[in-house]
Amino acid sequence: MARLFVDREMFRDGFVTITDKGDIHHIARVLRLNTGDILEISDKTKYEYHCEITSLMADRIEARVLSKEAFSCEPQIQVTLFQGIPKAGKMEGIVQKCTELGIHEIVPLWTERTVVADKGNFARKIDRWQKVADEAVKQCRRGKIPSVMKDCSLFDAAGSFSAYDLVMLAYEKEEGFTVKTCLESFAEKPEKIALVIGPEGGFSEKEVNFLVQSGAESVSLGKTILRTETAGPAMLAMVFYALEL
């Protein structure tokens, strides 16, 4: 069954209007749906709907709402990934896998050891990564599309740590304090968590000290050293296994 994401204001009087050209093309030309066929639609904020197509036109599609219910596949906690910007196309894989796992938002992070050949017009990369999240969320049937935020420096990121109940920094030199140990130290389940992952080569000792002083908990992800494109999804999976599953 096709799943779409439509702004909440497009739902009126028991009907929804779809005006996005890409969605119209996908419904009519790719899926070849017609009147009477059923769509799954998310309003991007709280509810998902089953809707029956009532009319297809070149500029819009109308569908009647058959049922409405709260999101069933969204995690209860909100996790933000501060990801040290990796080389080549690795960020697309990170965005895709973290979207499938349930990430809330991803913030590309500039660090001392970030090595990116093309730093021009970085906004185009943000747009591309957001499109990767848009496509991944449709495949895994989530209700919300994660946001790929504007890139920032490590020092700007640290300034936002107070907005989270818990900030965990993956650090390869940390030995005794694991993600599990860190989570178990909380009397109540944290609702907003930030995960901080370095680029290839990791964080410098100076950066680690600064992040810890800013409120991050330094944690180990295990006995082996993970690649940057593996560390984020692995850490996210550990958090959701401990707190959601």
pLDDT, position 72: 83
Regarding whether 166 and 100 lie in a shared domain, the answer is yes
Give pTM, 2 decimals: 0.90
Domain boundary among 70, 104, 123: 70
Regarding whether 220 and 130 lie in a shared domain, the answer is yes
pLDDT, position 119: 66
Q: Which residues contact 216 (CB under 8 A, 6 or more apart)?
A: 158, 161, 167, 168, 169, 194, 196
CATH classification at residue 155: 3.40.1280.10
Regarding whether 31 and 112 lie in a shared domain, the answer is no
Domain boundary among 35, 51, 70: 70
Regarding whether 141 and 40 lie in a shared domain, the answer is no
Residues 26 and 30: their CA atoms lie apart, in Å, by: 5
Regarding whether 176 and 152 lie in a shared domain, the answer is yes
Walking along the chain (245 residues) 10 residues at a time, the average pLDDT comes out as: 87 95 92 94 92 95 95 91 92 96 96 78 91 89 92 95 97 92 91 96 95 97 94 97 90
State how many domains the chain has. Answer: 2
Asked whether 158 and 214 are in contact (CB, 8 A), the reply is yes
Residues 142 and 104: their CA atoms lie apart, in Å, by: 11
Regarding whether 154 and 132 lie in a shared domain, the answer is yes
Structural domain of residue 12, as residue ranges?
A: 2-70
pLDDT, position 175: 86
Q: Which residues contact 184 (CB under 8 A, 6 or more apart)?
A: none
pLDDT, position 2: 67
Regarding whether 116 and 153 lie in a shared domain, the answer is yes
pLDDT, position 187: 84
Of the candidates 195, 196, 199, the residue with the CA atom closest to the CA atom of residue 113: 199
Regarding whether 90 and 51 lie in a shared domain, the answer is no
pLDDT, position 166: 97
15-18 vs 11-12, strand pairing mode: antiparallel
pLDDT, position 49: 95
CATH classification at residue 41: 2.40.240.20
